[in-house]
Amino acid sequence: MTNLKRPTIKEVAIQSGVSVQTVSRVINNRPDVAPDTRLKVQEVIQVLGYQPNALARSLIQQRTNTLGVVTNNLNFIGVSRTLNGITHMAEELGYALQLKSFHAFKPEEVAEVLNDLLSHQVEGIVWAMPEIGNNRLWLDQECPDLPVPMVFLTMQVRPCLPVINFDNLAGGRMAVNHLLQQGYRHIAHISGPLDWWESRQRKLGWETALQENGMMVNDSHWAEGDWSASCGAAVYQHLKESYAQMDAVFVANDQMALGVLQAARNSGIDIPGSLGLVGFDGLPESAFSVPPLTTVFQDQSALGSLAVTQLHEMIETQRSGRLKPFTEPVWLNPELIIRHSSQKPQAVYLGSGIPQTANHK
């Protein structure tokens, strides 16, 4: 079923009655080949189905046109959207992609993963594994020596290291400010696992927004989840006890928010009437929950594309000798998508007060 032998340049040369150098010239579209010779060689290539061996070529040229990609477990939905952007841009720029993914992160595996990629002579690496726990310990030096250009996604900024992040803090702040504008006054938070850098940033966004509006941040007003919907539901039940006045929740991802949505409905709590809800991520599904979920969207596909673009530039810069010392961190802005879950119905007009916005001017 499979014919094992792939023809080599030597066989093409023999069949064409020329030397391997001449075949090489034809393959690489060099001008200095006699038209007849070129035709003959091309014909033989066609007949034999010859394809140059990329390994041999890379070995002699000292260039693989290959990028390494390191990701988290691909069951996490975000990662695969990033990977999508990476594959697109890599294709466009002519890079092959070697993929390594951590299943469960173990610090001792970092060297292994890195060495594996390097032994394959990748020209650069996109480190798309998010910062969790101490999985950046290996980078915590003043200015770490990297064996090839690398771009890091989703981690705390470190000296001399090119990182690209969504501004999670700004995202959290946006979410909470929106809820405040809508008139919610007791805004709880369900965070992701706090060993994730992203979780901490989103939580910080929540705190910042509250403080900027002169509100207290209280430890009974938030709780930690594990990103899963079921956990979101459970944590919400807990918050109802610890924070009785709660009238809104900013949840650190959409999946947990969907859990909250379900739990709230099961308790007969009206969203957005009695509880405002904002998630984070912008999953397509979130638009189709009941009610549709307001969320902080991050375009992770764009993140992936940008990472490859930047890596490409770094590689080219380095190759050309102009060694730009290091690239500044890049911050991407997430985007608030306002849907029904956070649209507080207008307060009933009581007559006893005057609407604030109506009488001035």
Q: Contact positions toward its own copies, by CB under 8 A?
A: 1-4, 6, 51-56, 58-59, 64, 69, 73-75, 77, 79-81, 83-84, 87-88, 91, 96-101, 103, 115-116, 118-121, 143, 145-149, 160, 228-230, 233, 255, 258-259, 261-262, 265, 283-285, 287-290, 292, 301, 318, 323, 325-326
Residue 288 token pair:
């189709």
| One-letter amino acid for residue 353 of the chain | G
If one asks whether residue 33 binds DNA (CB under 7 A), the answer comes out as yes
Closest to 251 (Cα-Cα) out of 342, 361, 137, 353: 342
115 binds DNA (CB under 7 A): no
Contact residue for DNA among 2, 46, 62, 320 (CB under 7 A):
62
**Closest distance between DNA and the C-beta of residue 322, in Å?**
20
The entry of its own copies, DNA, none that residue 329 binds, CB within 5 to 8 Å by partner kind: none
Angle (nearest 5°) at CA 186 between 185 and 189: 130
* Residue 35 binds DNA, judged by CB under 7 A: yes
At residue 100, what are phi and psi to the nearest 5 degrees?
A: -125, 135
Please, what is the angle between helix 197-212 and helix 168-181, to 10°? 40
Cα 269 to Cα 262: distance, rounded to the nearest angstrom: 10
Q: Which of 1, 36, 353, 359 binds DNA (CB under 7 A)?
A: 36
| 240 sits near DNA (criterion: CB under 7 A) | no
Q: Interface with DNA includes 48 (CB under 7 A)?
A: no
3-state secondary structure of 78: helix
> Whose CA is closest to 158, among 178, 175, 138, 172?
138
229 binds, among DNA, its own copies, none (CB under 5 to 8 A by kind): its own copies
**Is residue 44 involved in binding DNA (CB under 7 A)?**
no
Provide, rounded to whole angstroms, the least separation between the CB of residue 102 and its own copies. 9
- Pick from its own copies, DNA, none: which does 4 bind, CB < 5 to 8 A by kind? its own copies
Contacts of DNA in 3-32 (CB under 7 A): 8-10, 18-22, 24-25, 27-28, 31-32
Cis peptide before 291 (omega within 30 of 0): yes
- If the CB atoms of residues 214 and 321 are measured against its own copies, the closer one turns out to be 321
Beta carbon nearer to DNA, 115 or 237 = 115
What DSSP string runs through 161-175? --EEEE-HHHHHHHH
* 3-class DSSP assignment, residue 90: helix
CB of 301 to its own copies, least distance (A): 7
Dist. CA 195–CA 273, nearest whole Å = 33
DSSP annotation string for 191-254: E--TTBHHHHHHHHHHHHHHHHTT----GGGEEE--S-HHHHHHHHHHHHHH-TT--EEEESSH
Interacting partner of 37 out of its own copies, DNA, none (Cβ under 5 to 8 A depending on kind): DNA
Positions touching DNA (CB under 7 A) are 8-10, 18-22, 24-25, 27-28, 31-38, 50-53, 56-57, 59-62
